[in-house]
Structure 1
Amino acid sequence: MKIREIVFLIFSALLLSGCMTGKQNQKFTVTGVEKPVISLNGVWKFSIDPPEKFWQKELDSSEWSDINVPGECQMQGFPIKADIPFAYRTRFDVPEDYAGRKIMLNFHGVYSYARVWVNGEFVREHFGGFTKWSCDITEFAEPGETAQLAVEVVDRSDDISGASDYAKHNIGGILRDVELSALPVQHFEKLHIDTELDEEYQNAQLNIDYSLSSSKPSDILFRLFDAQGRMIKKAEIPQAEKQGSVSMDIESPEKWNSEHPYLYTLSAEISKDGKVLCSVPEKVGFREVKVRGEKLYVNGVEVRLRGANRHDIHPKLGRCATAKYDKLDAQLTKQANMNYIRTSHYPPTERFLDYCDRYGIYVEDESAVCFQYEGISSNKDKFTDRYLSQVREMVNNHRNHPSVIIWSVGNESSYGKNFQKSYDWIKANDKTRPVMFSFPNTVPKNKKVYDILSLHYPKWHGNDKVHGFQIKNFDRSGMPVIYDEWAHVPCYCTDSIKEEPNIRAFWERSLDKMYANLLKSKSGAGGAIWGMIDETFFLPEDLPGRGDIWDNQGENGSTEALGPAIGYGQWGIVDSWRRKKPEFWRTKKAYSPVKILDKQVDQFSPGEKLKLKIHNRFNHTNLSRTSIEWNYMGKSGLAFADIAPGAKGHLLMPELNWQEGTKLSIEFFKDRRLLDKYNIRIGKQGNELPQIKKQGRITLKNSSSKTAAEGENFEFVIDKNDGLIKNLKLGGELVIKSGPHLHLTIFEKLGWNSPIKNLAAGEWELKSSSSSLKQGVLHVQMKGSFGKVSAEFNIRINGVGTAEIDCKASGIPGGKHIKEAGFKFITAAAEKISWERKGYFTAYPANDLSPEKGSADLSYTPEMKYRQKPEHCWIYDSEDYFYFGLDKTLPLSMLARGLKENIFRYSVFYNRGGRLDVLSDAELGCRYERQAGKDSLIINSIWDYPDLQWGNYAEFIKNKKSFSANAVLELNKDY
């Protein structure tokens, strides 16, 4: 049994022993009430055009439509529109044991304005779609009877969250859970917890601030339990007053941080005359957040945040939060080596924060205020209550979560007095966390509305002017900087995404370089990828009036939706079904807390230890607390490293028989979770390219229109009219129809959805051509042009089918960004491709878009149906409903279509056994293309994705007026 498995069994036993006590898993209880919290989720009745006084108890709504709660209306087929009310109705039973208690309705999120009636009686209204709010219905609902609930909802165009605007459709509806709950007459109206650590960050103080619902004296008992259910402290307050506070001194508590998320449980009980009225459990994490100078500290340790921006999204229910996806998103966050989530652009559910507490994820909790530019709402009195009510609900509902380390008062908006009042209220009510705001450049110099500088989309190298703030190597003196939007995932580069998906793999350079450079800075406290989950909503195909709902699709590059799959686009490292995209593994690698700095070891001696440079990029964890497993040429074992957080050192491998051209595999684990994997090259890994010399026999036959060439296993003709090789056959099987053709694409300009132009799409004009045998090798030369672009090809091929092709082109228009440059062959339809390549990283999973070794079946396109979750991995998709609409099935899977960079060998396999190999010393990129029934093998010496933009890395090859490409090809009769 491996050591990692033994540790897992011990860990599981400890966890189970803790569960047996029941203390850390206790729930909110009310004495005498069997179910103090009852979910009202389910199928309700819905009317898009409700009758007058629809809230009346006697009204018959049985003929109304059914709708799922929670869930968006439009996503369920109801074409609601902005500022036009719609209505819900449902019935619920009030348990008899709710008698004598306060009866509450709890709405966890209704977008964006709601009014509530119970049994025909108006209860209250509420602005804001993403915070929990409650209705006291005690006087309207009778225990033991059935109550009638009516809710009117309006998707208001003036909502300060702007959420329907950036969702590209009206998201109105009951988006989150609805509950019925019972409270004793005497209960906690407020129960706020914070922890304070001493100067040595050793001992702690647990501070509890509470208020009761009644001034009648009651007894309060606070008890603190550890993770194993052992009580370690208690505080009793007999005859407690309505408001009060208490502190507990805790000696050497386990600290909570993202790497060691240790949780205690505080039980808060209210008693009267010796009888417990209710018990409230709260998870407690002992942690302290401080901003000192230019750094952000958690428990006295400087932290670097590596994260992403997360939206609530469900592909069929829309901007809806579900228990399944709340948990899954937290798990995916940890799997991707992220320690930080920005809750763009509204607060998350309490449930999601519970998982962040449990798994160890730092959270920037953001108020639902977005895109409120000057003159919209930030300076207007009529919106002040909305700003403040949302901030109050966010802070009061979420302040007890240790995972929440930063509040944000809003996203990408202009400063105004309503933001100032929001900041001031937070600072007056919660002094334990810093506050952020974007855009900070709009804040007057004499005003303070943030404690950490928020900057969006720096360049990957960190030397830039962002929102008017000059940064150098990601540093900005004065305070910490969090780039809480950076490394934008490919999304708006529509033409590139449509052509082939490798742009998603190329993006790895951006995030890896950004985070590595930020770690060298003094004030750079972290960054968050935009974004975590694809922003694609799968509206019903037959939604009435769908074309009228959002009438500017495609304008300003905001979306390129071609059908009912709408939104901003595929900007996630996972798709909306939560399937991992190519960007997921690349995030895991770039954000890895354990970085081996050597990709290749050139100096080694068989039988001696191997020393690898390594960087511990954890904030709180010594590498001795990780499990390190190695595998080399059939042997395996464990390694050990004692390196402090943030430090660099060496990892020693045992005395093995190291051999040139092999690979050493190393995996790092923490808490049974794979942190990273490396395949370290031992010695040189390049290809020994074959020499083009006389081998086999090649013969020529000339006629007035062509030259026929025949070798050992192949034959082809050279067309004298255009100089091209045509009808190349291997063992009698047609493989290449014609070529080589110049392949040259450019971006005439960069911007939203930068269009690609093919400079070799015109008519090929042959200027000269020749072919001759020299010392058993066929030499073919042709010169010509596509308009102003001139091209020259020199081909040498011997009798066994080894060929070298040189391509040179000139006359490329100056000032244009090159996307791809090389040559291609028009081929017969192949059945499979395979490749070996040199990756940017040394290890990729087998189901990646471009692992270092891989293959793709060109006929494998699994069935996909709109609005149905695919059962296969993302790489096998052959449908893209967002970019191509519902009517187009791609002829190849993503895996097959994607460019493979830096190839050693790229092979194309044909039905009857022929194989075409492209060989390179990791200098070429190859891809297979199938369009309109025409197959092509494209061989590039240049490829680039400058349309990534947003500060992402690219070569930006702009002024290159000429290029050359060289490839070695092998023609093989048999696989």
Structure 2
Amino acid sequence: MVRIALPHDDVSPGTGCLPPRAWYATSDARALCLNGNWRFRLSPTADAEDDAFAADGYDADTDGRGAWGEIAVPGHWVLQGHGTPHYTNQLYPFPVDPPRVPTDNPTGDHLRVFDLPGDWPAAGTTVLRFDGVESCARVWLNGTGLGDFKGSRLPHEFDVGPLLRPGRNVLAVRVHQWSAGSYLEDQDQWWLPGVFRDVTLLHRPEGSAGDHFVHAAYDHRAGTGTLRVDADVRGRVTVPELGVDMATGESATVPVEPWTAETPRLYDGVLATAGERVPLRIGFRTVAVEDGLIKVNGRPLLFRGVNRHEFHPETGRALDADTMRADVLLMKRHNINAVRTSHYPPHPAFLDLCDELGLWVVDECDLETHGFQAVGRRGNPVDDDRWTPALLDRAARMVERDKNHPSVVVWSLGNECGTGRGLTAMAEWIRARDDSRLLHYEGDRSCADTDLYSRMYADHAEVELIGRGEDEGPEARRRLPFVLCEYAHAMGNGPGGLTEYQRLFESYERLQGGFVWEWIDHGIAHPAYEYAYGGDFGEEPHDGNFVCDGLVLPDRTPSPGLLEYKKVIEPVRIDGDGHAGVVRITNLHDFATLGHLSFTWSYEADGVRVADGPLAVPALGPGEHAEAQLPPAPPHAPEAETGWT
């Protein structure tokens, strides 16, 4: 492949973007959704077209140099008839020559014509927000360049107030499939270019909150929560249910019910500034490592987790709200209590659902350089100071966007990047910005930049040694809690060994659970196959069906592996076959009592239920157990095969 220097070869995170800030779904400020059908054309190379399409007054219908069609945004062009997807697990799909990428670089030009409502406020300014674009975008509005950005699964905003016009406006976006940013995004997944998350115009009234940070700690000894909301403008914070009415920057300590993944208690509040009212959903909880254990609200927790990629068989990583909610509900129904967002921050609406319905979240940065392993880590960006600004930008965009979610209890620096100075810089920045959560990174066995010891696929024998504190390694590491960030690979007939792992987790308090790899098969809908995987689109190199390794099928049908996992991790255990007249009930929840459950018994003879009734079980607290008395066995034929259920 011929290579030349192009703007997207730059290792910087981009130009022209506003500083990152907290995401929230709604406020009383005006917003205009720009999702929908956009004009689109695809070029085979990054330099095949000039930027005339972005000029003011350009008419796509009269340009004879390239046929313009339409494409749905959010969406990936390779799933809408333009080019093809490409799957790799570890290797980059182009030669490793950082920061350069091939000139054979599919480039999609996007045009969106929109009318600004006549009553759009003149005061204040307006921000143009992109929630996700893979992998590099350059943006123009009404012929004026706004800038460019990388960081596919992260938000980027531009100040466009002075450029907006009454009536007709034209937004032009050029997206390159490959960029220097691609070297930081070598995750085990399909490469799917495009504008795949929402595009929105947000009015920012004078006196609106540019950013805010909700600090909501819980004191489990006193049963109180302490709330402080910092904002970059003055305002007031009200939480009517708690009787809170205070200025931003002030603190209030009041009796509260804490937030946990088992009891996801949220309080509705409002941040009111001179220009805007922002709704708050506040969960009080405190995360810390104490006595060598991860504790929330003073109690150790056990992750019964999964690694989750965002995926839909027809739309790729462009997920709608119903699909995200379906994921969370399906997890909850199968006793899953935690998600690692492998290996990038998810759509922020997914974290809203985790807050509401209750999941512990390890929020992972959009960073993986796995393919450098094939060249001996030579040129690895995480150990090259030229790339550190891009790494810090990705860390900041994750933390600032997601910092107000109580479900996020751990920040993860990324995945399978080896080690390097850039990772240390990220860890130092995150700790300085937010010391209320823990830090995770699996790739550094020294654990110098982390608060927990994390491994992938350690076998049962090694996990038991770690549980006993008899593993080799630095003494400081042996004092850290241990988590399997990936284990029990769910491909084919997997996952296996689940019962043995769970027995170890429950036997050694240092072992605080893990995250099964992974949640969903990434099979793409295809006219010739039920689902396509690597190589089915003629791409080279590829990693075949290794992308189909989930607990649910692409259409989210549970696999037998998910049903097995559900049984192994169930938080209520019933022991005994009833022949002694009693059964033992154990509450394996970390926080919840059994007061929300009802228990029944039934008696069967030759597979037919002959009697049933309620079973008296106390509202056991977490970790408690009790024996429940069964009634006398009802009459049945002497030769019948009988049993209690």
Q: TM-score, normalised by structure 2?
A: 0.83
Of 421, 424, 427, which residue of structure 1 is paired with 2:425?
A: 421
State the partner residue of 1:559. Answer: 544
Amino acid paired to 2:392 = L
Preserved contact between residue 76 and residue 316 of structure 1 (Cα < 8 Å) = no
Over residues 680-736 of structure 1, what are the superposed CA-to-partner deviations in whole Å (9 max), with x where a residue is unaligned? Answer: xxxxxxxxxxxxxxxxxxxxxxxxxxxxxxxxxxxxxxxxxxxxxxxxxxxxxxxxx
Equivalence for 2:10 = none
Q: Counterpart of 1:141? A: 164
Distance 1:657 1:663 in 2: 11
Per the alignment, residue 395 of structure 2 pairs with: 391
1:488 and 2:481 are equivalent in the alignment: no
What is the percent sequence identity of the aligned residues? 26
The corresponding residue for 1:592 is: 570
Deviations 1:158-203 (A, max 9, x none): 43575466325x3111121111111102211220011123361511
Matched, 1:234 2:245: yes
Which residue in 1 is equivalent to 2:177? 155
Q: Contact (CA 8 Å) 1:294, 1:522: kept in 2 or not? A: no
- Distance in 2 between residues matched to 1:488 and 1:119, nearest whole Å: 50
Task: Return the offset for 1:318.
Answer: 1.5
Larger radius of gyration: 1
* Equivalent residue runs for 1:270-289 within 5 Å: 270-271=273-274, 277-289=275-287
* Distance change (3 Å), C-alpha of 1:297 and 1:635: same
Match for residue 40 of structure 1? 34
What CA distance in whole angstroms lies between the structure 1 residues aligned with 2:358 and 2:537?
44
Do structure 1's residue 192 and structure 2's residue 221 form an aligned pair?
no
- Asked whether the equivalents of residues 84 and 154 of structure 1 are also in contact (C-alpha less than 8 Å), the reply is yes
Q: Structure 2 matches for 1:471-870, cutoff 5 A? A: 471=471, 477-491=478-492, 503-504=493-494, 507=495, 510-538=497-525, 550-553=539-542, 558-560=543-545, 568-598=546-576, 600-601=577-578, 603-604=579-580, 610-632=581-603, 633-642=609-618, 643-657=620-634, 661-665=641-645
Correspondence for 1:853: none
The answer (yes or no) to whether the contact 1:257–1:360 under 8 Å persists in 2 is: yes
Equivalent position amino acid for 2:591 in 1: H
Aligned to 1:709: none
Q: How far is 1:204 from its partner?
A: 1.7
Contact 1:75 1:540 (C-alpha < 8 Å) held by counterparts: no
Q: Deviations over 1:411-457 (max 9, x none)?
A: 1221111101110000000010000002122x4xxx72111111111
Superposition deviation, residue 638 in structure 1: 2.3
- What letter matches 2:159 in structure 1? D
Task: Return the offset for 1:536.
Answer: 2.0
Q: Is the 8 A contact 2:220 2:297 kept in 1?
A: no
Q: Which amino acid aligns with 1:233?
A: V
Alpha-carbon shift at residue 597 of structure 1 (Å): 2.7
1:26, distance to aligned residue in structure 2 (A)? 10
Give distance in 2, aligned partners of 1:438 and 1:452: 9
Distance in 2 of aligned mates of 1:86 and 1:73: 8
Ranges in structure 2 where 5+ consecutive residues have no aligned partner: 1-23, 62-66, 85-101, 604-608
CA contact (8 A) 1:461 1:514 kept: no
Q: CA deviation at 1:658?
A: 7.2
CA contact under 8 A between 2:369 and 2:381: conserved in structure 1?
no
Secondary structure in 2 aligned to 1:390?
Answer: helix
Whether the 8 Å contact between 1:460 and 1:511 is mirrored in structure 2 is no
| Aligned-partner residue type, residue 615 of structure 2 | A
Shift of 1:540: 6.6
Residue identity in the other structure for 2:114: F
CA contact (8 A) 1:113 1:129 kept: yes
Q: Report Cα offsets for 1:282-324 as digits up to 9, x if no partner.
A: 1100111111132111111111110100001111122223212
For the residues of structure 2 that align with 1:325 and 1:161, how far apart are their CA atoms? 29
1:58-69 correspondence to structure 2 within 5 Å: 58-62=57-61, 63-69=67-73
Aligned residue in 2 for 1:353: 351
Could you say which structure has the higher strand fraction? 1
Deviation at 1:538, TM superposition (A): 3.3
Q: Which amino acid in the other structure matches residue 652 of structure 1?
A: Q
1:905-953 CA-to-partner distances (Å, cap 9, x unmatched) read xxxxxxxxxxxxxxxxxxxxxxxxxxxxxxxxxxxxxxxxxxxxxxxxx
Work out the CA distance in 2 between the residues paired with 1:321 and 1:579: 17
Matches of 1:148 and 1:309, distance apart in 2? 39
In the alignment, the residues of structure 2 paired with residue 57 and residue 654 of structure 1 have an alpha-carbon distance, to the nearest angstrom, of 83
Aligned mates of 1:463, 1:236 — CA distance in 2: 49
Residues 395, 426 of structure 2: 8 Å contact kept: yes
Q: For 1:629 and 1:462, how far apart are their aligned partners in 2?
A: 40
Q: Deviations over 1:102-149 (max 9, x none)?
A: 11111111111111110111112111100122111111112x312101
Q: Which amino acid aligns with 1:619?
A: D
> In the alignment, which residue of structure 2 is the partner of 1:956?
none
Q: In the aligned structure 2, how far is the partner of 1:268 from the partner of 1:592?
A: 39
**Native 8 Å contact 2:259 2:266 kept in 1:** yes
Query: Does the 8 Å contact 1:92/1:148 carry over to 2?
Result: yes
Where does residue 83 of structure 2 map in the other structure? 79
Q: Which residue of 1 aligns with 2:150?
A: 127
Residue 174 (structure 1) aligns with: 195
Q: Does 1:457 align with 2:473?
A: no
Change in 2 beyond 3 A, CA 1:91/1:574: same
Q: Which moved more, 1:644-653 or 1:572-581?
A: 644-653
Q: Which has the higher contact order (CA 8 A, sep 6+)?
A: 2
Q: Partners of 2:145 and 2:635 in 1: how far apart?
A: 79
TM-fit CA distance, 1:459: 1.6
Checking the alignment, whether the CA contact within 8 Å between 2:127 and 2:157 is kept in structure 1 is yes
- Structure 1 residues 465 and 159, CA, compared in 2 at 3 Å: closer, same or farther? farther
Q: 1:582 to 1:145 in 2, by over 3 A?
A: same
1:430 aligns to 2:460 (yes or no): no
What is the aligned partner in structure 1 of residue 265 from structure 2? 262
Amino acid at match of 2:598: S
Deviation at 1:358, TM superposition (A): 0.4
Pick closer, same or farther for the CA change 1:83–1:382 going to 2, 3 Å. Answer: farther
Equivalent residue number for residue 771 of structure 1: none
Amino acid at match of 1:235: M
Indicate which of 312, 330, 333 corresponds to 1:332: 330
Q: 1:261 to 1:283 in 2, by over 3 A?
A: same
Structure 1 length as normaliser, TM-score?
Answer: 0.56
For 1:357 and 1:349, locate their aligned partners in 2 and report how far apart those are by CA, in whole Å: 14
Checking the alignment, whether the CA contact within 8 Å between 1:176 and 1:322 is kept in structure 2 is: no
1 CA distance for matches of 2:252 and 2:56? 50
* Letter matched to residue 573 of structure 2: K
1:512–1:589 contact (8 Å) kept in structure 2: no
Alpha-carbon offset, residue 99 of structure 1: 1.8
The one-letter amino acid paired with 1:355 is L
Gaps of 5+ in 1: 1-24, 31-35, 213-217, 238-244, 272-276, 492-502, 561-567, 605-609, 666-975
Question: How far apart, in 2, do the equivalents of 1:628 and 1:161 lie?
Answer: 54
